[in-house]
Structures are given as structure tokens and as C-alpha cells.
Structure 1
Amino acid sequence: MAKKEALTTTRMLLVLTFLISLFSLSMCGNTSFSIDYNGNTFVLDGKPFRAISGSLHYSRVHPYYWHDRLLKMVAGGLNTVQTYVPWNIHEPKEGEYNFKGLADIELFLQTAQEVGIKVLLRSGPYICGEWEYGGLPAWLLSIDPNMIVRTMDPGYIAAVDKWFDVLMPLLKKYLHENGGPILMVQIENEYGSYFACDFDYLRFLYKKARGILGETAIIYTTDGDGAAYVKCGSIEGSYITIDFGPTNNPVANFAVQRQFQPQGPLMNSEFYTGWLDHWGNPHAHTNLDTVCKSLDKILALGANVNMYMYEGGTNFGYWNGANAPPYQPVPTSYDYDAPLNETGDITDKYIAIRQTISKYQKLPEIPIPPNTPKGKYGTTQMNFVSTIQDALDVVSPDKPVYSTYPLTMEQIRFYYGFILYRTKLPRDINQLTPLLTKGVRDRGYVMVDQVPQGIFIRDDVIQVNITGKQGQMLDILVENTGRIGFATLMNYNVKGLTENITLDGEILTGWNIYPISLENINSSIISTRQGSGPKLNNGLLTPSIYMGKVPIPTSDPEPKDTFLDMRPWVKGQAFVNGFNVGRYWPKMGPQVTLYVPKPALVSPSLPNYLVMFELENTSCPPSQPCNVIFTDKPFINAIPAGSSFSVREIKEGYNWNLRV
């Protein structure tokens, strides 16, 4: 409660500060931001301006830390922050808008104003960013599962039109010319890399944004460093920018921008300081010297630059996206090997980039803010609470949806996390018999009367052999592990069971479908459960809920950031005091620990509850409780090596081998 009150007070102060600044600017006048095409420069309040920027996505950093991160960016020599607007976090259900918590864009903009950093705002509607569905709301697929997004598809355009009527007026009041921090607004993102090349669509977005933002607002586009990309991604009236990484030749890349925009400031909108991760691949790393030398070349050309990412942050909850082909979901951590790491700590890359920037402009005379303290809280015992089936009254309290054949998540208007499909076996199955489908999106846990039989895996395992008796419950718990957010395959993004299930060639019918809302779990409900225990078969346990308490010493004045070491757990979802920390999958790697931000915790004098939904196996010795460890160091660089991988941690070595 105290933290909520503190955040509310902080917000009120920021709003007051913002209103005072608006009044002051209105009295002074002359607030403007424009492009001098002949002088090849931006002009801020009548003076030449060069953007030295970094990407930070407000939806990937807890609001409690926005001020800290933005101040570190300013101390690092940056004058601008670039951020995405994920439509889906703001409109999770059609017509229901959210501008609180991780979605409080106004608080973020007010914080930027207070810190004194300008904003490059990437409005979408599509953003990419390895975010769920590229930022598009999954309810679009309830309107039309065959919708071709990012085109003039009527259903898509109607939804975008309504969303921009909500978003653009909000952005307008925060434009620099109106006293706010926003210098420019980007529409779409890297559209030239998309197959459609629909200029009518780009013109629609531009006209819509221009009509609301006004004639003097700067609207821009970002595309890759090839002529074909810029040709399909730029639109008349907008300012063109390009993106490229540290191994590219800046002179050659900027020549592409000049081909389509002969005059005006040069700008790389995505200069890659690192790269993204996928489950099962090594943690990405970009050489520090390579980054700094390339940045030096860009700045020596007088160009503007945005570093993607400056802090990557975290895909809390179910917000991670995926790439394809092949289908590869992104982990919870979006560390990106960025100058500020996932938790906002200073890295060697931060110091080196700051030094490079100092060659071209004076650094601000402020100290670099310290890293946030971390808590090493030790071991906590996790107690079994219930199998998912025995908790359906809590996690799926409404009546199940009945259908003769399976329905997708989108068909029942449920979009993220988990969904359970249930029918009865039509006859005795005394010998192992194939249960078959090619339509699981993305992992399907098969059980007969709660006894695990196997796992369907998207594009991989399409058959699970089962046994059972007539009338026994056949359950398939399907996990949506993240929608594709890039290229053509993002148009095939429905989740759940997308095709029929056959048993020895016979189509199974009569399905009850349960949307699973794990957010409904709380400590009072958990304490009353009397579960019978998970069933073990084929190395799998029934997907189950476990609970423990974060062992913060009561003598501590307040909690600290901490990391949840998920060994020896296998795969699942973790919640701290109801806050969805994200997915864990330590045996797949590279991420092993989950970041738990301080504001997810409550006073050490009160209980802090950890709830875990384990899908596969606890890997604990029989008849012994399972534990997890809260540590003060992240571990996101486990090294996969084929079907097994050893694990290496740079600073604190673990003598630990994993088998997938």
C-alpha cells in the first residue's frame, strides 16, 4: 500500500511539474522543433540540434525505475530517448483501454520531461521489437483469423483508425511545440521489410497522424539500410531514417538515406548495441570495441543516432514475442547486451559509449547514478498447492466453453498464457495408441485423468501415444509461448488448438474449453486448497501450482531487487505477490534467473508470496520439498550445446550440467 501511495504521490508531483513547465513555456514562447533540410540539421528552439539517443521501452521497465533509467541515460551523454507504443498493452481487449502500470505512457513522458530528456516516439500501430505480435492486439484475430495486418485490410484499418483516435490526441499534448518532450513521432516500423509494400496503407497512417498531430509535427519512418526497404517503407511528407548495426559501413549506409532524401540530417534510428535472444540459443553478445568504433564513425559524420537498445529490460508476463521460421520464442529477459543491463545497472559498454560521446559534446555535470542494490535472500521451500485440474474453479471460474470441435484462443476471446481442452476417451485404449494433431500453438501437455502422457510441440512433435479407459478425462493444456512479430508469418498467429485431434484416426469431439487465468491465484485461496498431488509418468508431472514465501529478513528496512534462480525447475510461469514476473525455462537456456524488481515486493514485515506454475517436472528428489533460491546476481548466459549443454556464469561459476 505504501508503494502505491508513493507512486501516486510521485505521479501527482510529476503532473504538477509538467503543468508548470507548460505554463512557463507558454509565457516564453518560441518552443519549436523543425528540420533545416538545407543545413542538414534538426533545429530545437531556434538552435541546431543533434539527437544522441537510446532506446528504452517503458513497457519493459517497472514505472518505479523510469526516473532512474532516464537519469542514467542523461548522465551517459544522451539527450533523447526512443520508445515504442505497444498497442496491445494499451488495448488488451477491444475497446478497453489501459494506461496504468507498465502502460502509463503519460507518466513516462512526464518523467522524461522532469529529467530533461527529449523523446522520439514510435507510435506503431506495428512496432516489432520482439514484443508479442509486434505490438498488435491479439483480439484482431477474433475479428478475422485470416486478417492481413499492416495493409488496407478493412478489419485491420477500422481497428487502427479507432486506436489512433485515442493515441494521437494523447501524444499531441506532449509534443515539444506544446511544451512536452516529444520531438518526433514515427509511424509503422521497418515497413519496407514487410511483403505487402502497401502505399495506400502508409498514406492512411500518415494522413491520420498528420490530421491529429498538426501540420508542424515531424512524422518519420525507419527502415533497413537497403534501397528496396526504404522504397517500400517511406512516405511523402515524412522524414526518412534508416537503421544498421556496428559491423556496417556508415558512409555506405547513409548513402541509401541520401538516395531517397538528398538533404536533411542523417540519422540511424536503430544502431544495435547488442542483439536479441531466443530460447535454446546462446546469449547474444556484441563486442564493445566494435560498437564504440562504429558509433565514433557515425558521430564523426555529424549524423544523429539512436542506440537500440540502451536498456533492454524485461518481457514481464506473457509479453515476449517470437520469430519464424523456424518458430523461436524470445525469453523473458530482454537484456540485449545493452549499455544498461536488464536491471538498469551500469556496464563497461555504458562507460565506453559515454567516453565516445564525450569526444563530440560536453557531458552533463551530474554524477552517474549508482546501481540499484540487490538482495541475496537465499532459499525458500516451494509447497505443492494443486494440479491445474483441481484448481479450475479458481483459475477458470466461469463455465467452460463447449464446442464439438476445438476452438482457438481467439475464438473464445482469450488471448495470452494457457488454455485447457477437455473431452472423454470414447473407448478403452489398452495399448499405446497415437493421438495426433498438427495444430498445437505452441506446446500441448497431454494428460489422461491427470496422468501425463506427453507433449505436443509446435512444428515438431505432432503425435503423443496414450492409453486409458473409456470415459476417462483427456486434457490438453496448451501454452501460447508468444506470437510471431515479424515478416509474413505474423499473419498466421492464432493460438491454442488450431486443428482437430484424432485418436487412432478418429476425430475426437465434445470439448470443454477452459481459459486459464493464473492471475486469479492469491494467498488466501491457496491456503484453502487440498490437492491430491501431481501424477508422475514418462518423466513428466501433472502441471501444478506451488507456493512459497520470499525469505526477506524482517530486519531489512525495505526490499531490494532480486533474482529468482529457477534451477532445478523445468518450465513454467512465476508470480510474486500477483505480479507476473514471466516465463522460466532454465533447461533450455540461455536464461536461468528471473528478475524480480523491488516494487513487486512488499515490506519485509509482511509476507511476500511466490507462486509458480510448473508445467513439466520439479526435478526434485522423490518425497522431498522443492526449493528455489533468491540471489543477487543474474544468470542469463547459459550455453546450449546440442541436446545437452553445460552452463557457464562469468563471475560466479556454477558446477552444473543440464540435460534437455
Structure 2
Amino acid sequence: MFWKDGEPFRIIGGDLHYFRVHPEYWEDRLMRAKALGLNTIQTYVPWNLHEPRQGHLVFEGIADIISFLELCKKLDLLVMLRAGPYICGEWDLGGFPAWLLAEEPAIRLRSSDPAFIDLVEKWWDVLLPKVSPFLYSNGGPIIMVQVENEFGSYGDDKAYLHYLVKLARKHLGDDIILYTTDGGTRETLEKGTIHGDAVFSALRRVIAKYVTEPLASVPPDNEKIAYGRIKLDRLSFLFDTIGLKDPIDADESENPISMEAIGQMFGFVLYASDYTPKGNGSVLFIPKVENMGRLNYGPYMFDRKGILSPVYLDEQPLYKWKMLPVSFQNLSDARKINPIVRNATREFLKGSARKQLKDKKLNFEPAFYAGQFNIDIVRDTYLSFRGWSKGVAFVNEINIGRFWPSIGPQCNLYVPAPILRQGDNTLVILELESPNPDLYVTSVDHGHVNLVLAREHSLFPDASRVAIRHRRRWDN
């Protein structure tokens, strides 16, 4: 039992991460948390969201933590802020910005390495003064601040933790409660789970037994709409869109270097080198390398991406590499892909370019496809990629995520209503393997999880020949 304002107080809390919810839905989700019976919200603060590039700070849009804290205060919800700098959180690199991996000499993450500590201090010198006005002692909702996360099951660098406490006290004062989470005992861990989701109504009934005030009413469900089939046309092939003579400078090096070293934190890199076979002439060798996500926990978390060693072809080393980054945070910022954005219009889809590409056979070369759909009522929806292979999807230039229906888990991608608009909407996808032969994507009104764990699959080469299929439909 805790004490608050001189009275006994029970924390009934749950996690709601502002960076995983569209900002226009923050209040809706917080109202649902309150209706569940929660009086406290926990949220992480991912460093890589707020400083995606060194010195480039972001606190707008989905990164507007100040507005989120103001909403919590408005709704009379307390906050336990999990400020990192490491968060785990099933988040890329545990919340660390990937540019940390480009530092030379290599720094030791989650340690008292002076180079690492210096960068953490610069980050917290920005973050903590921003959240300090929201401490409970200052009239705000923050009652506790978590330092690091589950460090006890990872390392024993006490100097690192002591330094974080000292830094937190410098900005937040002595009144705030600082805490850490080290994980449970073996017995509790054996009974724990991450898979699955809690049952809202059942939890609400249980919580109602232990509170004295009536619970708030549950807000009505947000309506989902199935807008039907969206016909797509092929716009261009990836390798045609990004040429070696691109006006945007490519990085050059004698040997291939990591994505992080060229400032490419997510997405793809095209590595290009001339190869002279034993006969005459030369061949341009262009492997496409995809960053599929970094480890977020454990001893191998220093997880650089890209080609990390010399390359040999026919026992011959390849030199003089060009690295061309292909970033897909959203299409409007992807300078190399802007022609696709400009072409993905009703005029293009009806014009000569469509006729030019229409009769070309579909193949396995990575390519962009686009289509438009017109809607009268704007609601949440899902896009089903049944029949497609693997790629990335954009709605109105916003990256809504990867699709890989043959592997899962998600077969349908969620499209929140705030990124749609009444009238014409544009869908652009990059298909990396083979497209749906009928070239359409379907807007449906439900989510769909289809998780395949196949030990004979190439993703699990060391496992036995066992396949487990789990299907689930989300209707709410």
C-alpha cells in the first residue's frame, strides 16, 4: 500500500505507450484505461523516437510526450514514467538510437563507459527538464520515474546505475520516487506470458471489486469499415527508381560498411560494386540489404545492420563499394522515391505509364505498386495482403508497416482513421518478392493474425520439423 497526500493509496496501473497509438486516439485510449479501473498509466520514453539522428530532437506528432502528459493530468490519471535510457519494450535496439552503433571506437551500451555516459547525459539534459514540470510535487501526474529497465538480469555495473540516479536527482530533485525493474523470480517468470491479450471486461469486473468509487463508463467502440478491394498498378521497379547516377550522393568505401555508418537507421541499402569475371567485361553486383529490426535485449544487442565483412565472388574480393540508402519512414521524406509519390495519382493510373507497364509480366524483382480508393465516411480499417509476399505499405504517404502474410504474425495491417481522408486516398506498396497476380489489396473491418512457427522453415534452420499454426481474428 502506498500513501498519497496523507491517505492510503492503491496503484492500479497499466501500460499505454504514447508512441504506439496515433495522437488523435490518445484521449480515447486513456478514457478506456480509466473505464477499466486504472488510476495510473505507465509509459516508456524511447530515446530513438526523440533523437533519431544525433542532435536532431523530435517532440512533435507521435513523439509529443508533453501533450500526452497533459492529457493524463486532464483525465486525472497518474503516471509512472519509464525514462530509460534503455527501455527494452519490445522496441528496436531497446529504445537506443541506432546511431550509437556508429560511434568509433565502439561504445559499450548500458555501462559506465564514459563515451556512453556522455551521450546519455546529453539526452537526459534535454528530456528530464521537459518532464520535470509534470512531477506530482509540481502539480503534475508523474508519481514515479523508472531508471533503466531489468538491469539486474543483464549486468552488474553499479557505477552505471548510481550515475543515472545522480543525473535523475539533478533534474528531478529529491522528492520524486525513483525505481527500477529487475524482473521476477524464476517461479514468477515461469508463470508469465507476453503472448495473447487481456480480457477487458473480465479485468474490469475484478478491479471493480477493489475500488470504492464506481468505474467510469466504457466509451463506445470505434467503428471499423471494410472499403473493399483496392486495385493496384505497377509504378516502377526499385532498381529503376534508384540508379547509381542518382543526384543524391552515395556513400563510397573500399569495403562495404554498416547501415549505421552511413546514417541509414531503418529501411534498405543497395550495395553496388563492379565485378570483373574471368572472361571479358564487367558486371555490376548490387545486393539489396534489408534491416528487419535490431535485437532489443541481451548480450548481443550491439546489433549493426548491413554488410559487415568483406565480400568475395568466385573467390575474388570486391572493392570500391557504393552504398545507396533507401529509407521509408514515410514517402514524403524519401527524396529518392518522390517520383513515385508524384506518379501515384489518378492521372497516372489512367495515363500512358499505366499502359506501358500493363503488359509486362509480373516477376520477382522488387517493385512499387499503387492504387487509389475513394471513401465517403472516414473510419478505422485494415488492409489484407492475402496473395502478396513481403513488403512495406504506405497510405497517403505514411508508412503503416511491413506485410509478410506467409510468415506472419500480422496478415492485415491496421489503418487508423486519422491518416485517411474523405475522397481520394492513395495506397503505395513496395513488394520485395512476388506480387498478388490479381494486383489488389482488400480493405476489411477486422484484424487477422496468422502465426506460423515452422522449424523446417529457413528462418529456423536449427529446429526440428515441427509446424504450429495459430489463427486469430480480431473483431474489436
TM-score, normalised with respect to structure 2 = 0.88
Report the number of matched residues: 452
Deviation of 1:428 after TM superposition, in Å, equals 5.9
Deviation of 1:652 after TM superposition, in Å, equals 9.2
> Which residue of 1 is the match for residue 32 of structure 2?
72
Q: Deviations over 1:63-102 (max 9, x none)?
A: 1111011110111111001000000000001111000111
Q: Any residues of structure 2 matched to 1:55-454 within 5 Å, and which? A: 55-144=15-104, 146-194=106-154, 196-226=155-185, 244=188, 248=191, 275=194, 284-285=195-196, 337=197, 339=198, 349-362=199-212, 364-392=214-242, 398-427=248-277
From 550, 562, 576, the counterpart of 2:373: 550
1:629 is aligned to 2:442 = yes
CA–CA separation in structure 2 for the residues paired with 1:193 and 1:589: 30
Instruction: Check 1:530–1:367 CA distance in 2 against 1; reply closer, same or farther (3 A cut).
Output: same
Contact 1:590/1:640, CA 8 A, preserved across alignment: no
CA RMSD of aligned residues (A): 2.8
Deviation of 1:640 after TM superposition, in Å, equals 4.1
From 332, 336, 342, the counterpart of 1:524: 342
Structure 2, unpaired ranges of 5+:
458-466
From 494, 500, 511, the counterpart of 2:310: 500
CA–CA separation in structure 1 for the residues paired with 2:472 and 2:171: 51
Deviation of 1:472 after TM superposition, in Å, equals 2.9
Q: SS of 1:500's equivalent?
A: coil
Instruction: Check 1:94–1:244 CA distance in 2 against 1; reply closer, same or farther (3 A cut).
Output: farther
> Which residue of 2 is the match for residue 608 of structure 1?
425
> Which residue of 1 is the match for residue 460 of structure 2?
none
Instruction: Check 1:151–1:517 CA distance in 2 against 1; reply closer, same or farther (3 A cut).
Output: same
> Which residue of 1 is the match for residue 461 of structure 2?
none
> Which residue of 1 is the match for residue 282 of structure 2?
471
Instruction: Check 1:472–1:551 CA distance in 2 against 1; reply closer, same or farther (3 A cut).
Output: farther
From 385, 393, 396, the counterpart of 1:574: 393
Q: Deviations over 1:518-558 (max 9, x none)?
A: 32245324457959869x99x96111111112342x3x2xx
Instruction: Check 1:613–1:397 CA distance in 2 against 1; reply closer, same or farther (3 A cut).
Output: farther
Structure 1, unpaired ranges of 5+:
1-40, 228-242, 249-271, 276-283, 286-336, 340-348, 430-468, 654-660
Paired AA for residue 319 in structure 2:
T
CA–CA separation in structure 2 for the residues paired with 1:61 and 1:407: 35
Contact 2:344/2:371, CA 8 A, preserved across alignment: no
Q: Deviations over 1:325-349 (max 9, x none)?
A: xxxxxxxxxxxx2x3xxxxxxxxx1
Instruction: Check 1:198–1:652 CA distance in 2 against 1; reply closer, same or farther (3 A cut).
Output: closer
Instruction: Check 1:203–1:533 CA distance in 2 against 1; reply closer, same or farther (3 A cut).
Output: farther
Contact 1:190/1:222, CA 8 A, preserved across alignment: yes
The worse-fitting range, judged by mean Cα deviation, of 154-163 and 397-406 is: 397-406
Paired AA for residue 635 in structure 1:
H
Q: SS of 1:139's equivalent?
A: helix
Paired AA for residue 479 in structure 1:
E
1:560 is aligned to 2:410 = no
Deviation of 1:501 after TM superposition, in Å, equals 1.3
Paired AA for residue 101 in structure 2:
L
CA–CA separation in structure 2 for the residues paired with 1:420 and 1:139: 19
Q: SS of 1:586's equivalent?
A: coil
Q: SS of 1:587's equivalent?
A: coil
Instruction: Check 1:113–1:397 CA distance in 2 against 1; reply closer, same or farther (3 A cut).
Output: farther
Deviation of 1:177 after TM superposition, in Å, equals 1.1
TM-score, normalised with respect to structure 1 = 0.65
Paired AA for residue 168 in structure 2:
A
CA–CA separation in structure 2 for the residues paired with 1:99 and 1:397: 31
Instruction: Check 1:501–1:617 CA distance in 2 against 1; reply closer, same or farther (3 A cut).
Output: same
Deviation of 1:383 after TM superposition, in Å, equals 1.0
Q: SS of 1:564's equivalent?
A: strand
From 515, 519, 535, the counterpart of 2:325: 515
Q: Deviations over 1:83-142 (max 9, x none)?
A: 000000000011110001111100110111111111110000000011010000111112
Instruction: Check 1:363–1:562 CA distance in 2 against 1; reply closer, same or farther (3 A cut).
Output: farther
Q: SS of 1:211's equivalent?
A: helix
Q: Deviations over 1:240-297 (max 9, x none)?
A: xxx956x64xxxxxxxxxxxxxxxxxxxxxxx6x51xxxxxxxx33xxxxxxxxxxxx
Deviation of 1:226 after TM superposition, in Å, equals 3.5
Instruction: Check 1:513–1:394 CA distance in 2 against 1; reply closer, same or farther (3 A cut).
Output: closer
Contact 1:541/1:615, CA 8 A, preserved across alignment: yes
1:484 is aligned to 2:295 = yes
CA–CA separation in structure 1 for the residues paired with 2:210 and 2:105: 51
The worse-fitting range, judged by mean Cα deviation, of 516-525 and 585-594 is: 516-525
Contact 1:561/1:596, CA 8 A, preserved across alignment: yes
Deviation of 1:403 after TM superposition, in Å, equals 1.4
Q: Deviations over 1:342-383 (max 9, x none)?
A: xxxxxxx11111111122113544310111110101101111
Deviation of 1:145 after TM superposition, in Å, equals 6.6
> Which residue of 2 is the match for residue 587 of structure 1?
406
| Percent sequence identity over aligned pairs | 40
Contact 1:75/1:363, CA 8 A, preserved across alignment: no
CA–CA separation in structure 2 for the residues paired with 1:500 and 1:540: 30
Deviation of 1:470 after TM superposition, in Å, equals 3.5
Paired AA for residue 392 in structure 1:
I
Contact 2:447/2:473, CA 8 A, preserved across alignment: no
